[in-house]
Structure 1
Amino acid sequence: MINKNVLPMPAVSASVSCMDLGNLADSIKKVEDSDVAFFHYDVVDGRFNKCYILGDILCDYLKKNSRLPIEVHLAVYDIENYIEVFAQKKVEYIAVHYEAMKNPKEIFAKIRSLGAKPVLAYRADTEPKDDLIELAPLCEWILKLTVNPGFAGQKINPEAIKHIKMMSDMLKQNNIKTRIQADGNVNKNTTRMLAEAGVTIFTGGTSGLFLAGKSIQENLRELLAPTKEFID
């Protein structure tokens, strides 16, 4: 088993919205019996994308009944209204969207002041701008969506792969070690191109990590096998 206190290279997170929420205790155990590094917990407000996913009560249950870190992904506007709610639950990471922030530095500082660590998130169709160089060192990693948040079964947006490569090149050119996470249609057929573009953290869901007929650990190994050529 991996050391749960250290984020592996590469790392896989489990998308909670893709788990069997009707049997959550069993789903948590199955994830924690694998080398999954943390839980990825989507919160969608119906405005950032036209759906509603997960909320604060379920997050309470997850935190109290699991031992892995939790990344709360706030796919929301009015971010300030959500940060304190989830920080109070002692989650380890809070991902906030570039598109929803007027002053990312202030939001990052608030997250840290409340005891969590900030993650900088980008939609699938958002191209990185020059301020990535200024913001990347201030967050734990960069979460790049490769599909629209909230709907399972989508195919990767090709533009998102181009954006990841742009991000990776910008970070390397400026000697910034911040890692890139991909979320959306992550499976054994897509992780190679994601890793080649610069991804080292993979969020697994219905298309890769929770496939029926195999354990989560078996699916995780199949996910990561194509990445070995690109990730040490």
Structure 2
Amino acid sequence: MLRLSSSILASDFTKLGECVARAEKAGVDFVHIDVMDGMFVPQISFGEPIIKSLRSATALPFDVHLMVQDPEKMVPALKECGADIVTVHAEATKHLDRTINQIKELGMIAGVALNPSTPIENIKYVLKSVGLVLIMTVNPGYGGQKFIPYSIDKLKELKEMCQKLDANPMIEVDGGIGFDNARDVIDAGADVLVAGTAIFKGNIEDNVSRFKLIMGQ
């Protein structure tokens, strides 16, 4: 099943609750929340208070993407904030397997993210333990960047590895996803499309409808 995750990093922060509500009504499936610490990536973005305050604004699952060093330190608080999916970077924790289990033990879906240049092989042994794999299709830290073309090959490689290992995580793509490449990433194996600028720039309802049409929904 294909899903659309709206990245609020590209929304109007003065109308954050309204943007989320409009996206939900338009038909998005997840709210994608990028948490940045200014160390793993250059920017600082949302923290726990904002995530918690947004929880009452929508019934949609919170798809939380941790772009932070030592993400395991934040996991318990995210449970309290109402997170449903917590994705950590393989590059950001020394004990990936332990962190994945920590997320799952708290009743959330565990995801693992890979930067563009990180090989798929690096997550081979945890692939059957996670519910989601996030392929970064831009270098993380800034919204509105251009899609990296070799990501298509990486998606195909991931899909092939999942089939070989009988693993069934959702495959999510994040970075530069728009109407021009959405079908390409779906055909390469993506199940979940994260879109920010392409949803929140212009008319939210029209943009979501365009994505859903591409997704066959």
Does the alignment reach a TM-score above 0.5? yes
Superposition map of 1:105-120 within 5 A: 105-120=97-112
Unaligned 5+ runs, structure 2? none
Aligned counterpart, 1:197: 188
The SS at the match of 1:52 is coil
Q: How far 1:198 sits from its partner (Å)? A: 0.8
Q: RMSD across aligned C-alpha pairs, in angstroms?
A: 1.8
Q: Is structure 2 residue 208 aligned with structure 1 residue 220?
A: yes
1:145-190 per-position Cα deviation (integer Å, ceiling 9, x unaligned): 1112231221111232221111011112233222210011111101
Q: Is structure 2 residue 131 aligned with structure 1 residue 143?
A: no
Q: How far 1:143 sits from its partner (Å)? A: 0.9
Q: Check conservation: 2:23, 2:208, Cα contact below 8 A.
A: no
Runs (4+) of structure 1 exceeding 4 A deviation are none
Q: Check conservation: 1:90, 1:116, Cα contact below 8 A.
A: no
Q: Is structure 2 residue 36 aligned with structure 1 residue 44?
A: yes
Aligned counterpart, 1:20: 12
What's the TM-score, normalizing by structure 1?
Answer: 0.87
Q: How far 1:211 sits from its partner (Å)? A: 3.0
Quick one: which amino acid aligns to residue 22 of structure 2?
A: K
Q: Is structure 2 residue 76 aligned with structure 1 residue 84?
A: yes
Output the CA distance in 1 between the equivalents of 2:67 and 2:46: 11
Quick one: which amino acid aligns to residue 14 of structure 1?
A: S
Q: Check conservation: 2:26, 2:209, Cα contact below 8 A.
A: no
Output the CA distance in 1 between the equivalents of 2:208 and 2:119: 29
Quick one: which amino acid aligns to residue 201 of structure 1?
A: V
Quick one: which amino acid aligns to residue 207 of structure 2?
A: N
Number of residue-to-residue matches in the alignment: 217
Q: Is structure 2 residue 160 aligned with structure 1 residue 172?
A: no
The SS at the match of 1:121 is strand
Q: Check conservation: 1:125, 1:159, Cα contact below 8 A.
A: no
1:166-224 per-position Cα deviation (integer Å, ceiling 9, x unaligned): 10111122332222100111111011221121111101110x21231x343x3123224
Q: How far 1:227 sits from its partner (Å)? A: 4.6
| More divergent stretch after superposition (121-130 vs 67-76) | 121-130
Q: Is structure 2 residue 174 aligned with structure 1 residue 186?
A: no
Q: Check conservation: 2:30, 2:61, Cα contact below 8 A.
A: yes
Output the CA distance in 1 between the equivalents of 2:153 and 2:59: 35
Quick one: which amino acid aligns to residue 31 of structure 2?
A: F
Quick one: which amino acid aligns to residue 108 of structure 2?
A: A
Superposition map of 1:54-93 within 5 A: 54-93=46-85
Q: Check conservation: 1:191, 1:224, Cα contact below 8 A.
A: no
| More divergent stretch after superposition (9-18 vs 80-89) | 80-89
Identical aligned residues as a percent: 26
Q: How far 1:130 sits from its partner (Å)? A: 5.8
- Which fold has the larger relative contact order, with Cα–Cα distance below 8 Å and residues 6 or more apart in sequence? 2
